[in-house]
A and B are shown apart, each in its own frame.
Chain A
Amino acid sequence: MSTHLLAGAAQAPPPGRSEPAVEPLPFVRADPASGLNRLDLVVEGVHCAACIRRIERGLERLGGLASARVNLTTRRLAVAWPGDPGRAGEILAAVEELGYRAVPFDPARLEGGDAAAERELLLCLAVAGFAAGNVMLLAVSVWSGHALGMGEATRTFLHWFQALVALPAVAFAGRPFFRSALAALRRGRTNMDVPIALAVVLAPAASLVETLRGGEHAYFDSAVTLLFFLLIGRYLDRRARGAARAAAARLLALRGQAVTLVAADGTTRPVRPESVPAGATVLVATGERVGVDGTVEDGRSELDTSLVTGETTPRPVGPGSRVFAGTVNLGAPLRLRVDAVGEGTLLAEIVRLVEAAEQRRSRFVVLADRVARLYAPFVHTLAALTLGGWLLAGAGWHGALWAALAVLIITCPCALGLAVPAVQVIAAGRLLRRGVLVKSPTALERFARIDTVVFDKTGTLTTGRMVLEAIEGGTRDDLEAAAELARASRHPLARALAAAAGPGPAARAVEEVPGRGLRRPEPEGEWRLGRRGFAGPAEDDGLPATELWFERPGRPPVRFRFADPLRPDAVEVVAELRARGLELELLSGDRTATVAEVARRLGIARFRAELSPAEKVARLEELARAGRAVMMVGDGLNDAPALAAAAVSLSPADAADIAQTAADAVFQGERLAPAVELLEVARRAERLVRQNIGLSIAYNLCAVPLAVAGLVTPLVAALAMSTSSLLVVGNALRLQWGAR
Chain B
Amino acid sequence: MSGLLYLIPVALFLGLLGLAAFVWALRSGQFEDLDGAAQRVLLDEDEPEDRPKRG
Contact = CB atoms under 8 A, between A and B. Distances in A.
Interface stretch (A125-133, A257-265, A411-419): A125-133
A311 B55 CA distance: 42
A1 interface: no
Contact of B26 (A60, A119, A157): A119
A53 B40 CA distance: 9
* Interface size class, chain B: 20 to 34
A469 B3 CA distance: 87
B36 A73 contact: yes
Given A154-B1, A157-B4, A73 B33 contact: yes
* Residue of B15, B36, B42, B49 most packed against chain A (CB within 10 A): B36
A49 B43 contact: yes
A70 interface: yes
Contacts, number: 56
Interface string A16-55: 0000000000000000000000000000000011001100
Contacts of B12: 134, 161, 165
Interface in A79-132: 115, 119, 122-123, 126-127, 130
A722 interface: no
Contacts of B35: 72-73
Interface string B38-55: 011011000001000000
Interface in A117-167: 119, 122-123, 126-127, 130, 133-134, 137-138, 154, 157-158, 161, 165
* Residue of B22, B31, B49 most packed against chain A (CB within 10 A): B22
Contact of B43 (A52, A119, A138): A52
Nearest to B1: A154
Contacts of B34: 73
B43 to A, nearest CB: 5
Chain B at the A interface: SS class: helix
B15 A49 contact: no
A126 B22 contact: yes
A130 B16 contact: yes
A126 B25 CA distance: 12
Contacts of A158: 4
B36 A130 contact: no
A72 B42 CA distance: 14
Nearest to B38: A72
A57 B40 CA distance: 13
Contact of B19 (A72, A73, A130): A130
Contact of B31 (A70, A119, A130): A119
A679 to B, nearest CB: 27
Contacts of B39: 48-49, 52, 72
A137 B7 CA distance: 13
A165 to B, nearest CB: 7
Contacts of A57: 49
A133 B15 contact: yes
Interface in A52-70: 52-53, 57, 60-61, 70
A159 to B, nearest CB: 12
15 contacts: A48-B39, A49-B43, A52-B39, A52-B43, A71-B33, A71-B36, A72-B33, A73-B32, A73-B36, A123-B23, A126-B22, A130-B15, A133-B15, A154-B4, A158-B4
4 A-B pairs closest in CB distance: A72-B36, A49-B39, A71-B33, A49-B42
Interface of B: 1, 4, 8, 11-12, 15-16, 18-19, 22-23, 26, 31-36, 39-40, 42-43, 49
Interface of A: 48-49, 52-53, 57, 60-61, 70-74, 115, 119, 122-123, 126-127, 130, 133-134, 137-138, 154, 157-158, 161, 165
Given A73-B33, A126-B22, A126-B26, 5 more contacts: A52-B36, A52-B40, A70-B36, A119-B26, A137-B11
